[in-house]
Amino acid sequence: MNSEARLASSWFIWGLSYYLYYPFVSLFAVKFVQDVTILYLISTAFAIPMPLIGSKLARKIGLVKTMMLGGILSGIGLVLFSFSTSLSFLIISYVIASTFFISLPSYYSYMNNLGKGTISKIWAISIIPSLFTPFIGGIIASVLGLRAVFLIGGILMTLTALPLISLKEIQIIKDSLVFDVKLLIPIVVILPIALAFPFIYLVLKQNYSMSYENIGLIATLAEMIGAFFTFLYSKFARRFFLSLYLVLFSLIYLIYFNPMFALFFGLWEAIIPSALEESKEISPEAFGIINSFQQVGWFMGYLFSYLEFSIRTSILISSLISVILGFIFLVINKR
Closest listed residue to residue 150, CA positions, set 26, 9, 11, 12: 26
How far is the C-alpha of 87 from the C-alpha of 30, rounded, in Å?
A: 10
* DSSP-assigned letters across all residues of 122-161: HHHHHHGGGGTHHHHHHHHHHHH-HHHHHHHHHHHHHGGG
pLDDT in tens, 47-82: 999 999 999 999 899 999 999 999 999 999 999 999
Residue 201: exposed, middle, or buried by beta-carbon count in 10 A (0-12, 13-18, 19+)?
buried
Reduced to 3 states (helix: H, G, I; strand: E, B; else coil), residue 238 is coil
246 in Cβ contact with 323 (< 8 Å): yes
- Written as tens digits, the pLDDT of the chain (335 aa) is 788 999 999 999 999 999 999 889 999 999 999 888 899 999 999 999 999 999 999 989 999 999 999 999 999 999 999 999 999 999 999 999 999 999 999 998 888 888 777 887 888 888 889 888 988 999 999 999 999 999 999 999 999 999 999 898 887 766 655 556 666 788 889 999 989 988 899 899 999 999 988 998 898 899 889 888 888 876 665 668 889 999 999 999 999 999 999 999 999 988 988 887 766 666 777 788 888 888 888 898 888 877 766 889 989 999 999 999 999 888 876 66
Q: Indicate the length of the chain as a whole number.
A: 335
Domains of the chain: 3-162+180-333 (1.20.1250.20)
223 in Cβ contact with 127 (< 8 Å): yes
Prediction pTM value = 0.80
299 in Cβ contact with 190 (< 8 Å): no
Tell me the one-letter amino acid at 191.
L
Closest listed residue to residue 268, CA positions, set 290, 281, 254, 250: 250
23 in Cβ contact with 215 (< 8 Å): yes
How far is the C-alpha of 284 from the C-alpha of 252, rounded, in Å?
A: 34
221 in Cβ contact with 266 (< 8 Å): yes
Number of neighbours of residue 232 by Cβ within 10 angstroms? 18
